[in-house]
Amino acid sequence: MKIHHVGIAVKSLEEASGRFGDLLGLEKAERYDLPEFGVSALFMPVGDSNLEFLEPLGDASTVGKFIEKRGEGVHHICFEVDDIEASLRDFAAQGARLIDEKPRPGAGGHLVAFVHPKTTHGVLVELKQK
């Protein structure tokens, strides 16, 4: 298992990716519009992992509400797993509250699912299948 990415909620993908790109010498990678998640996402590789910048799409966006309430900042951590269905069963069996009972297609068409921060010490956890 590895940390696939750290998701960061920002007001502007361009500004945030420019800033981190300059500070750390990172190259921008793919950008995805994910209307079903209410965000545009831009990935910047960092070694084997990535930063995922998230800019809200529209007022109903959960990332938009996150920024409104808490300001820009770290939003979630994504763990890459071999078998997301098995991981979700494990999480549920251990009392973790699942936001997504079933995985759904995320950036690049990979299956993802979110786990509620209430049962993971305040951290919104994303699972992503390899």
List contacts with Co ion (CB under 5 A).
7, 52, 78, 126
Sequence-separated (6 or more) residues with CB below 8 Å from residue 129? 80, 81, 82, 83, 84, 103, 110, 111, 112
Nearer to Co ion by C-beta: 52 or 80?
52
Nearer to Co ion by C-beta: 7 or 103?
7
Q: How far apart are CB 22 and Co ion at their closest, in Å?
A: 23
Can you name the residues that pair with 53 across neighbouring β-strands? 8, 42
Nearer to Co ion by C-beta: 78 or 111?
78
**Residue whose entry in the numeric block shows the structure tokens 């921008």:** 28
Q: How far apart are CB 6 and Co ion at their closest, in Å?
A: 8
- Choose among 5, 4, 1, 6: nearest CA to 75: 6
Instruction: Give the nearest residue (CB) to Co ion.
Output: 7
Q: How far apart are CB 119 and Co ion at their closest, in Å?
A: 18
